[in-house]
Amino acid sequence: MGKSDFSTLTDEALVHAELGAERELLAAGFRLRMGNLEDTSSIGKLRRKIAQLRTAQRTRERAQGLLKDSLRGRYSATFVPQAAGATSGGSAGFVKGLVDKIESNE
Q: What local confidence, expressed as pLDDT, does residue 87 receive?
A: 46
**Is residue 16 within 8 Å of 73, Cβ to Cβ?**
no
Is pTM beyond 0.85 here? no
| Helices assigned H by DSSP within 1-89 | 3-6, 11-34, 41-64, 70-75
Question: In this structure, are residues 59 and 91 in contact, taking their beta carbons and an 8 Å threshold?
Answer: no
- Burial of residue 80 (number of CB atoms within 10 Å: 0-12, 13-18, 19+): exposed
Each residue's pLDDT expressed in tens, for the chain with a length of 106 residues: 666 689 899 999 999 999 999 999 999 999 999 999 999 999 999 999 999 999 999 999 999 999 999 999 999 999 998 765 544 445 556 667 777 767 766 6
Please tell me the distance from the alpha carbon of residue 97 to that of residue 61, in angstroms, as a whole number: 33
